[in-house]
């Protein structure tokens, strides 16, 4: 811990913090890739659910990659990913999903995305 005229100053991130951010963001990149390809692999019947997963998956991959590559000062990206996870949890109900495999996929992936996004977003810089 360094000091300055105002008292003790913490470093922006410790090595453990960076590892935690990269772990959570890397997991969300993989979850995003899964969401993007899941409509083909699980043969979704409803177009709205297919498009929902493709859009959410692409957004998640892009945002999680940005957080993974440049974590400093971008804690808000983790919280956006967590919001995408919450949307994935709500999507089967809001979009009236009729396919059980799609419902289970949306719920389980949404919970995992929310947890990883919340972990990534909760580690933030002390020097904003």
The C-alpha atoms of residue 114 and residue 128 are separated, in whole angstroms, by 24
User: Total structural domains in the chain?
Assistant: 1
User: Which domain range does residue 114 map to?
Assistant: 14-122
Domain membership flag for residue 35: yes
% the chain with pLDDT above 70: 86
Question: Higher-confidence residue: 2 or 87?
Answer: 87
The C-alpha atoms of residue 49 and residue 71 are separated, in whole angstroms, by 31
Domain membership flag for residue 99: yes
Domain membership flag for residue 7: no
Domain membership flag for residue 6: no
Domain membership flag for residue 5: no
Mean pLDDT to the nearest integer, 8-27? 79
Contact 78, 113 (CB under 8 A): no
Domain membership flag for residue 50: yes
Mean pLDDT value across the chain: 88
38-85: pLDDT as tens digits: 999 999 999 999 999 999 999 999 999 998 898 877 888 999 999 999
pLDDT (0 to 100) of residue 43 = 94
Domain membership flag for residue 64: yes
For the cut 90, the answer to whether the pLDDT of residue 37 exceeds it is: yes
The C-alpha atoms of residue 16 and residue 10 are separated, in whole angstroms, by 14
pTM value is 0.84
Domain membership flag for residue 128: no
For the cut 70, the answer to whether the pLDDT of residue 126 exceeds it is: no
107-124: pLDDT as tens digits: 999 999 999 999 988 886
């Amino acid at each position: 811990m360094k000091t300055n005229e105002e008292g003790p100053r913490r470093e922006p991130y410790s090595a453990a913090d960076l590892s935690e951010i990269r772990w959570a963001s890397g997991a969300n990149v993989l979850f995003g890739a899964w969401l993007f390809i899941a409509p083909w692999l699980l043969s979704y019947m409803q177009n709205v659910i297919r498009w929902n997963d493709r859009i959410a998956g692409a957004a998640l991959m892009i945002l999680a990659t940005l957080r993974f590559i440049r974590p400093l000062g971008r804690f808000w990206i983790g919280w956006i990913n967590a919001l995408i996870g919450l949307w994935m949890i709500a999507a089967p109900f809001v979009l009236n999903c009729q396919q059980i495999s799609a419902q289970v996929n949306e719920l389980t992936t949404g919970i995992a995305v929310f947890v990883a996004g919340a972990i990534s977003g909760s580690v933030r810089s002390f020097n904003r």
